[in-house]
Amino acid sequence: MEKNNIGKISEDLKNGVKMIAMIAPSFVVDFSYPSILNRLDDLGFDKSVELTFGAKMINREYHKKLKKAKGLVISSPCPGIVSTIKTRYPQYVKNLILVDSPLVATAKICKKTYPTHKTCFISPCDFKKIECEACKYVDYVIDYEQLKEMFRKRKIGKDNKCVLFDRFYNDYTKVYPLSGGLAKTAHIKGLIKEDEFLDIDGIKNVMKFLDNPDPKIKFLDVLFCNGGCIGGPHTNQKLSIKQKREKVMKYLEKSKDEDIPEDRKGLIVKAKGLKFSGDVWWVKKGSKGLIEKK
């Protein structure tokens, strides 16, 4: 994969190319916060942002679409799910919601705010690398293990300095990497009855549902990995899903006490003029990997 090129990323950083690290919110499973921000800074990243503001923006799109939806709607932020549906359950492609993932939304916002910066996504899985290859707003991608390796090589350890993400803070969507995180934060109460919504994690469980769907379900919030993105293959495999969940919840709690300056918050006005639905990367002609059957 061209964008998953540590050599090129390191060279760019060394040469002072301005780059934004876009971090998946599951990062707390593998890295301490806020130490990771200093470490990214030491690597040479000019800015660090998390995907939570992008998640907030796509929640708004989900809300609008679910309001008008007739029949089953399937969430689409997980490229593992999109891939499985495209290759094994093409009859459900029409049910996938045509909304950007938080990654694509965040990358669009970053490119609008910092048009000359390069963007680098820090990922818990390989499916996201495929998504990055097909997304023109993302320049590079590395996974958590590769980032650890970069830190090791440069001998960049943990520290206790307290810094903040540079931009686009949004606390409540920090639960996105957990199973059902999207549905819990998209304000769907009132749009869908409790027994019309289902969240499923783990591809085996998802396939079980798709093989034998419950016609009552109108919104299916699904993630490929067990537990959600916290179970991604490049996350720390020594921790249980329960331990990983606790880390995310602790991070969410901690963030509620943080004093975030106004200019660093994820305010809707910062995404003004951007579109987050309709024209999704995975239905575009020529997008690699996810559409064609292998």
Which residue do the tokens 């008008």 mark? 68
Report the distance separating Cα 191 and Cα 188, nearest Å: 5
Q: Which stretch binds ligand SF4 (CB under 6 A): 47-55, 224-232, 245-253, 282-290?
A: 224-232
Question: Using CA atoms, how far apart are residues 78 and 97, in angstroms rounded to an integer?
Answer: 11
* Nearest residue (beta carbon) to ligand SF4: 232
**In the complex, minimum distance from the CB of residue 46 to ligand SF4, in angstroms, rounded to a whole number:** 26
Token digits for 159? 């520290």
Q: Does 224 bind ligand SF4 (CB under 6 A)?
A: yes
Q: Which of 49-57, 190-198, 218-226, 241-249 is the region at the interface with ligand SF4 (rule: CB under 6 A)?
A: 218-226
- The first and second tokens of residue 289, run together, are 């990997």
> Residue 255: CA atoms inside 13 Å, Cβ hemisphere, count?
22
Taking CB under 6 A as the rule, does residue 228 contact ligand SF4? Answer: yes
Of the candidates 49, 173, 171, the one whose C-alpha atom is nearest the C-alpha of residue 112 is 49
Q: How far is the CB of 222 from ligand SF4 (least distance, A)?
A: 9
Site string for ligand SF4, 48-87 (x = CB under 6 A): ------------------------------x-x-------
Give me 170's structure tokens.
């949004």
Return the range that interacts with ligand SF4 (CB under 6 A); candidates 59-67, 157-165, 219-227, 252-260: 219-227
* Residue 184, SS3 per DSSP: helix
CA distance 273 to 269: 9
Provide the minimum distance between the beta carbon of 67 and ligand SF4 in the complex, in angstroms, as a whole number. Answer: 25
* Cis peptide, bond prior to residue 34, ω within 30 of zero: yes
Q: Please report whether residue 232 would count as binding ligand SF4 according to CB under 6 A.
A: yes
Residues 6+ apart with CB under 8 A from 24: 50, 51, 103, 121, 122, 123, 124, 128, 177, 229
Which residue's CB is nearer to ligand SF4, number 13 or number 21? 21
Among 13, 125, 132, 183, binds ligand SF4 (CB under 6 A): 125
179-195 burial: b if 16+ Cβ within 10 Å, else e = bbbbbbbbebeebbeee
Under the binding rule (CB under 6 A), the answer on residue 229 touching ligand SF4 is yes
Q: Say whether residue 202 binds ligand SF4 (CB under 6 A).
A: no
Name 119's bridge partners.
20
Amino acid letter, residue 144: Y
Between CA 51 and CA 138 the distance in angstroms is 13
Q: By CB under 6 A, is residue 124 in contact with ligand SF4?
A: yes
Under the binding rule (CB under 6 A), the answer on residue 99 touching ligand SF4 is: no
By CB under 6 A, residue 27 contacts ligand SF4: no
Q: Cβ of residue 267: shortest distance to ligand SF4, in angstroms?
A: 26
Rule CB under 6 A: choose which of 108, 128, 244, 245 binds ligand SF4.
128
Structure tokens at 85: 């549906």
| Total number of residues that touch ligand SF4 (CB under 6 A) | 12
Which positions lie near ligand SF4, rule CB under 6 A? 78, 80, 124-125, 127-128, 223-225, 228-229, 232
